[in-house]
Amino acid sequence: MSNKKKIIIVGGVAGGATAAARLRRLNEQDEIILVERGEYISFANCGLPYYIGGVITNRNKLLVQTVAGMSRRFKLDIRNLSEVTEIHRDRKSVSIRNLQTGEVYEETYDKLILSPGANPIVPNWPGVNEAEALFTLRNIPDTDRIKSYLDTNQPKHAVVIGGGFIGVEMIENLVERGVSVTLVEMANQVMTPLDIEMAAIVQSHMKSHGVEMIFQDAVEKLSDNGKKVKLASGKELSADMIILAIGVQPENKLAVQAGLAVGVRGAIQVNEYLQTEDPDIYAIGDAIEVVDYINGQPTVVPLAWGANRQGRIVADRINGQDVKFGGVLGTAIAKVFDLTVATTGNNEKTLKRLELPYQAIHIHPNSHAGYYPGAAVISLKLLFEPVSGKIYGAQAIAANGADKRIDVIATAIKGGLTVYDLPDLELAYAPPYSSAKDPVNMAGYVASNIVDGLVEIVQWHEIDEIVSKGELLIDVRDAAERENGFIPGSINIPLNDLRDRLDEVPMDRTIYVSCQVGLRGYLAARILTEHGYTVKNVDGGYRTYAAAFASRKA
Amino acid sequence: MSNKKKIIIVGGVAGGATAAARLRRLNEQDEIILVERGEYISFANCGLPYYIGGVITNRNKLLVQTVAGMSRRFKLDIRNLSEVTEIHRDRKSVSIRNLQTGEVYEETYDKLILSPGANPIVPNWPGVNEAEALFTLRNIPDTDRIKSYLDTNQPKHAVVIGGGFIGVEMIENLVERGVSVTLVEMANQVMTPLDIEMAAIVQSHMKSHGVEMIFQDAVEKLSDNGKKVKLASGKELSADMIILAIGVQPENKLAVQAGLAVGVRGAIQVNEYLQTEDPDIYAIGDAIEVVDYINGQPTVVPLAWGANRQGRIVADRINGQDVKFGGVLGTAIAKVFDLTVATTGNNEKTLKRLELPYQAIHIHPNSHAGYYPGAAVISLKLLFEPVSGKIYGAQAIAANGADKRIDVIATAIKGGLTVYDLPDLELAYAPPYSSAKDPVNMAGYVASNIVDGLVEIVQWHEIDEIVSKGELLIDVRDAAERENGFIPGSINIPLNDLRDRLDEVPMDRTIYVSCQVGLRGYLAARILTEHGYTVKNVDGGYRTYAAAFASRKA
């Protein structure tokens, strides 16, 4: 008890608040000072869009901990409306400005924890400073501003710039309030952790809820006090309000001023113990660079789980425990109207960029037994190493059951399991919850069959070119199913007739087969392979193909 | 292709049907004969109670595969309404009786797969044969009989004998149809995979839906054509119908006749390749003995996942693949009115019986962020080894979110993760789905704190005796919370006042602390420990204590 420590934490939300509470639980004597620039600590960032949308009606519910409550319970010295303006590493102190009085004073530390977060990016477009109803969303005052604007001005139309997770959540909540929305997104899809054919499913769904989406276009300037948005394409949009959600940049000012190294997107660099270059200065949360758990590359993942985990680990380290932060999968999830969209690990774009060998599968199982009411189709994409079966990542979209399967796969990855292990996962089955073969089991079976060489596949984006070269694609669905669409150039031999019609299938070339979701195509591929053919199945079937191209046209 | 095999499968549901389909996918030439005693193959056993209850309205949906459809698609020789009556191992053949014509003939095999399932146990109580409306539920004809009886006779009151998963599902579905139910159960709880304090939660919920429950009592005899049920206690119940759901026994007649070894409850013994003592005879599904994945003991787990997994593995083995069946966790789930009840791995009863060292924790986190609508409290119990943190098992009960957490923990177990790894699981978080610390992360934190010696705990069933011996139990909730009940003999010092009132807490003895769910008790324990006290926290708080004792009184 004699070596009482003095610890200063910069930033009182998520990671900072977690660190403070754990520090106190581990040590009753230490002096713990929590400095927060804003009025509020430990608020529910992730709930803000839903308060704006009216789903959460009680503003107080957003305030997870109050300054008074947390101070008392955890014996903390919380200084809100105070900003750390400078770090003096030589004398182990910080300068703190009281934002209410303007007073600046110095406070020494034994350990310093930087948890400053990240700031919404605001480009310097012409007219951006004159825009009267342009908002970013990061904290409680932002939220109050947006909500008050909506309540008072009853805007009819909003332009949301940026189609990431926050942009999409804001779109949903604006639409819930009766505001029509146009999304402007520089990329060719929403929610970049998804691959394009998966994003296409989300985009079709957003479109069905009346959202207008403009891709591969950028804002050139704002005019008329932000009532007009001119795009690089020349398009001009009118806007009663603008939500700017093009991303965040790590808040690194203090770290840079203190001469500490920053990396990807300016994020503060830390070692596996979350120490900066100065071993007495830790950094956590949205401001830091982390290691990608799958590919080992440095990255930035400004999400709540990491901030909380890191806050705990730093408190443990400072109190002598041997714990490390092991990197991030980037598991993420969002509700998009009636859909759940969830991802974990690396997507195909990332694997391609890093030139890692991979295989992708798309399956469409039911969220639970099809005969029990309420089952939804889960569009599930799994990425894995083609020889070892190592799991790289997964993406799932469904009206229900997507979160569970992504959580199971994220757990499997952390457990070092391969696609061969997924069929052995003994998941809870009764008709309201799953099938005797859970979707994750199914993904494992499909992936194992590929690793084992039982079937070869081609992807949705390859098949048009293959068919245009004159290759034979057999659609093995029943004739009636083709009335709702089919891959151009395919011929039809229903699966159940295939054995009787083998004389129609030439032996001298690769045969391509497809069906609705990939399952009957696989059966057809097995029959043909066993009869000596070289066969490839269209992965994910017509469903994946059609969804992807619906997006391209959108 | 030259060494074409002839394979006979006995039993066409679940495992048998799965084996047949996979056998064909792997080999187009083999002769595959599927012999099924009943009319139907591959039906949805697990859906039967819901068809009776009217939740599933279309009977055809229960028929996953038809004889004609599956025969054609998989080129199978399916012989339904046919029974294998004898195995002739010496000449590798079976006798088959055509149940429609009475004809008996012999069929040879290269490989034989036994998938005969299990039969509902029907004790020979006096009067059982005269009971006119006594039903067991196993297959489609059973289902038709029960549904027809309900439709025609409109019974008012049913006695369900046996409170296992099927009994409880039947109770729910009978209540849905307006039938009042009395449950008679020999044990002191429903659903024995749960520990008693967890079952208590289910029982309270069933009671709130009007179900009468009689525990630790047994049927002595039936009379009045099954309209009266006399119990060992002397109680007499009247019954318009009786559902008998006291368990199933492995169907081992063929195996025993063939001289193959049987084990636990008469289940057919197999090696890790699912071979019986005769390497050309495999056995799968509800009829076989399996290895408990946690404790390595032989057991019987008649559930769908294992049957399907085993059917696949046998087909792979027969076609030369090196795969094994690795044992079962016994992951199970049921919907009980508005609750989901899920378990995986070993429960406390089992660990106690095997004298394995263990620690149990109970937590009550929200299924998702409390500020987002629809959050439910999950009652989550985790069992683990007290030194290594190895996970033994878990039980979860909640209106929503229980299935996901049990699936994650089941996956963590298969990945060899310990309680120390659970905080590192990066699970999908947005307010509609979870919290920044998921309930599984939380369980990991709580368990790690115990393994690390940060806190000691006592259980709900220990505290009454401790207090009655005059030990000091401090309830650290706010005074107002005690109005809804408290542990008898506890005194009240609210957590926030504890530091100021340490002079009221004697140093010369162990101090016990409790709160509502265990979290504030933990904080209090940390404060007291840091001040030099010896402290124990009541695990799960008043909530676990009260729920457990509500059951005892029920």
Query: Taking the domains of chain A in order of start, what are their residue ranges?
Result: 6-118+249-318, 134-246, 340-451, 457-553
How crowded is residue A258: how many other Cβ atoms within 10 Å of its Cβ?
19
Q: Which residue of chain B has the CA closest to A396? A: B428
Tally the residues of chain B. Answer: 554
Nearest CB to A425 within list B414, B431, B434 = B414
Of B453, B421, B467, B438, the C-alpha closest to B363 is: B438
Please give the angle made by the CA atoms of A82, A85 and A89, to the nearest 5 degrees. 125
pLDDT for B267 equals 98
Q: Write out the two tokens for A181.
A: 């929305």
Tell how strand B236-238 and strand B228-231 pair up.
antiparallel
Q: For the CA atoms of chain A, what is the radius of gyration?
A: 27
- The CATH number corresponding to A340-451 among 3.30.200.20, 3.50.50.60, 2.40.50.100, 3.30.70.260 equals 3.50.50.60
Task: Give chain B positions within 8 Å (CB) of A72.
Answer: 496
Residue contact B430–A25, C-beta within 8 A: no
Mutate which: B43, B66, B305, vs A, most A CBs within 10 A = B305
Flag whether residue A275 sits within 8 Å of chain B, measured between CB atoms: no
Please give the angle made by the CA atoms of A143, A144 and A150, to the nearest 5 degrees. 90
Task: Give chain B positions within 8 Å (CB) of A17.
Answer: none
pLDDT level of residue A86 (50, 70, 90 thresholds): very high
Whether A6-118+249-318 and A340-451 share one fold: the answer is yes
CA dihedral (B448, B449, B452, B453) in degrees, to 10, reads -150
Please give the angle made by the CA atoms of B460, B461 and B465, to the nearest 5 degrees. 110
Superfamily of domain B134-246: FAD/NAD(P)-binding domain (3.50.50.60)
Buried-state track B131-168, b at ≥16 Cβ within 10 A, e below 16: bebbbbbbbbeebeebbebbeeeebeebbbbbbbbbbb
Report pLDDT digits (tens) over B16-46: 999 999 999 999 999 999 999 999 998 899 9
Nearest CB to B50 within list A47, A372, A526 = A372
Distance in angstroms (rounded) separating the CA atoms of residues A43 and A54: 17
Residues 6+ apart with CB under 8 A from B144: none
Nearest CB to A403 within list B428, B436, B437 = B428
Of A88, A80, A128, the C-alpha closest to A112 is: A88
How crowded is residue B402: how many other Cβ atoms within 10 Å of its Cβ?
27
* B122: alpha, beta or left? (left if phi > 0; alpha if psi -120 to 50): beta
Tally the residues of chain A. Answer: 554
Q: Which ranges in A90-219 belong to alpha helices (H)?
A: 140-153, 165-176, 196-208
Q: How far is B292 from chain A (nearest CA, A)?
A: 12
Q: Write out the two tokens for A174.
A: 């604006």
Beta strands across the sheet bearing B281-283: B77-79, B31-35, B6-10, B111-114, B281-283
Distance in angstroms (rounded) separating the CA atoms of residues B362 and B460: 10
First to last CA, chain B: 65
Residues 6+ apart with CB under 8 A from B540: B361, B362, B363, B364, B459, B460, B517, B518
Is the pLDDT score of A1 beyond 50?
Answer: no
Distance in angstroms (rounded) separating the CA atoms of residues B37 and A78: 74
Q: Write out the two tokens for B396.
A: 């979860």
Q: Which of the residues in chain B have pLDDT under 70? A: 1-2, 551-554
CA dihedral (B81, B87, B88, B91) in degrees, to 10, reads 70
How crowded is residue A535: how many other Cβ atoms within 10 Å of its Cβ?
23
Residues 80-119 of B with CB under 8 A from A: none
Distance in angstroms (rounded) separating the CA atoms of residues A138 and A253: 18
Residues 6+ apart with CB under 8 A from A234: none
Task: Give chain B positions within 8 Å (CB) of A307.
Answer: 436
Of B293, B321, B319, the C-alpha closest to B305 is: B293
Instruction: State the CATH architecture for B6-118+249-318.
Output: 3-Layer(bba) Sandwich (3.50)
Question: If DSSP codes are grouped into helix, strand and coil, which group holds residue B129?
Answer: coil
Residue contact B454–A56, C-beta within 8 A: no
Q: How far is B14 from chain A (nearest CA, A)?
A: 9
Task: Give chain A positions within 8 Å (CB) of B75.
Answer: 499
Q: Write out the two tokens for A256.
A: 């840079």
On the 0-12 / 13-18 / 19+ scale of CB atoms within 10 A, A355 is exposed
How crowded is residue A484: how many other Cβ atoms within 10 Å of its Cβ?
10
CATH topology of domain A457-553: Oxidized Rhodanese; domain 1 (3.40.250)
Of A142, A224, A132, A133, the C-alpha closest to A179 is: A133
Of A427, A419, A433, the C-alpha closest to A387 is: A419
pLDDT for A371 equals 95
Distance in angstroms (rounded) separating the CA atoms of residues B423 and A324: 12
pLDDT for A2 equals 53
Q: Write out the two tokens for B424.
A: 């590192």
Residue contact B426–A305, C-beta within 8 A: yes
Task: Give chain B positions within 8 Å (CB) of A29.
Answer: 530
Tell how strand B180-185 and strand B157-161 pair up.
parallel
Flag whether residue A61 sits within 8 Å of chain B, measured between CB atoms: yes
Q: For the CA atoms of chain B, what is the radius of gyration?
A: 27
Residues 510-529 of A with CB under 8 A from B: 522-523, 526-527
Of B200, B173, B551, B180, the C-alpha closest to B336 is: B173
Nearest CB to B331 within list A332, A334, A428 = A428
List active site positions of B.
46
Residue contact A428–B73, C-beta within 8 A: no
Which residue type, as a one-letter code, is found at position B188? N
Task: Give chain A positions within 8 Å (CB) of B62.
Answer: 371
Beta strands across the sheet bearing B332-336: B332-336, B339-345, B391-398, B379-384, B359-363
Please answer whether residues A425 and A444 qualify as being in contact, where contact means their C-beta atoms are separated by less than 8 angstroms.
yes
Nearest CB to B56 within list A58, A331, A372 = A372
Of B428, B231, B455, the C-alpha closest to B359 is: B455
Of B100, B90, B116, the C-alpha closest to B39 is: B100
Distance in angstroms (rounded) separating the CA atoms of residues A400 and B265: 39
Distance in angstroms (rounded) separating the CA atoms of residues A228 and A131: 9
List active site positions of A.
46
Q: Which ranges in A236-298 belong to alpha helices (H)?
A: 253-257
Tell how strand B236-238 and strand B134-135 pair up.
unpaired
Please answer whether residues B339 and B398 qualify as being in contact, where contact means their C-beta atoms are separated by less than 8 angstroms.
yes
Residue contact A412–B415, C-beta within 8 A: yes
Residue range B338-451 in CATH 3.50.50.60: yes
Task: Give chain A positions within 8 Å (CB) of B54.
Answer: none
Flag whether residue B403 sits within 8 Å of chain A, measured between CB atoms: yes
DSSP letter string, A333-396: EEEETTEEEEEEE--HHHHHHTT---EEEEE--BSS-TTSTT--B-EEEEEE-TTT-BEEEEEE
Of A450, A445, A471, A440, the C-alpha closest to A529 is: A450
How crowded is residue A480: how many other Cβ atoms within 10 Å of its Cβ?
8
Please answer whether residues B326 and B300 qualify as being in contact, where contact means their C-beta atoms are separated by less than 8 angstroms.
no
Nearest CB to B75 within list A331, A431, A499 = A499
Between helices A196-208 and A541-553, what is the axis angle to 10°? 70
Is the pLDDT score of A554 beyond 50?
Answer: no
Please answer whether residues B7 and B35 qualify as being in contact, where contact means their C-beta atoms are separated by less than 8 angstroms.
no
Is the pLDDT score of A551 beyond 80?
Answer: no
Distance in angstroms (rounded) separating the CA atoms of residues A493 and A479: 8
Residue contact B407–A427, C-beta within 8 A: yes
Between helices A519-530 and A541-553, what is the axis angle to 10°? 130
Flag whether residue A385 sits within 8 Å of chain B, measured between CB atoms: no
